[in-house]
Amino acid sequence: MVSIEGMADFWERLFGAQPDPPPLLVVLTGLVALLVVVTRLPWRIARNAITIAHEGGHALVAVLTGRKLHGIRLHSDTSGLTLSAGRPTGPGMVLTLLAGYLAPPLVGLGGAWLLAGNRITLLLWIAVLLLLAMLVMIRNLYGALTLVIVGGAVLAVSWYASPQVQAAFAWTGVWFLLLGGVRPVVELQRLRARRGMPASDADQLAGITPLPAFFWVVLFGLVNLTVLVTGGLMLAGPLLAEAGLT
Are 141 and 43 contacting, i.e. CB atoms less than 8 angstroms apart?
no
With a CB cutoff of 8 Å and minimum separation 6, the contacts of 163 are: 18, 19, 120
In the chain, domain spans = 22-239
Cβ neighbours of 69 (radius 10 Å):
17
Per residue of the chain (246 residues), what is the pLDDT tens digit? 556 666 666 666 676 778 888 999 999 999 999 999 999 999 999 999 999 999 999 999 999 999 999 999 999 999 999 999 999 999 999 999 999 999 999 999 999 999 999 999 999 999 999 999 999 999 999 999 999 999 999 999 998 999 899 999 999 999 999 999 999 999 999 988 887 677 899 999 999 999 999 999 999 999 999 999 999 999 998 777 777 666
Name 142's Cβ contacts closer than 8 Å, sequence gap at least 6. 74, 75, 76
The per-residue pLDDT for 6 is: 60
Three-class secondary structure of residue 83 per DSSP: strand
* CA nearest to 58, candidates 37, 73, 76, 78: 73
Query: 10 Å Cβ neighbour count for 189?
Result: 19
Q: What is the pTM of this model?
A: 0.93
Q: What are phi and psi of 245, to 5 degrees?
A: -100, 0
Report pLDDT for 137: 96
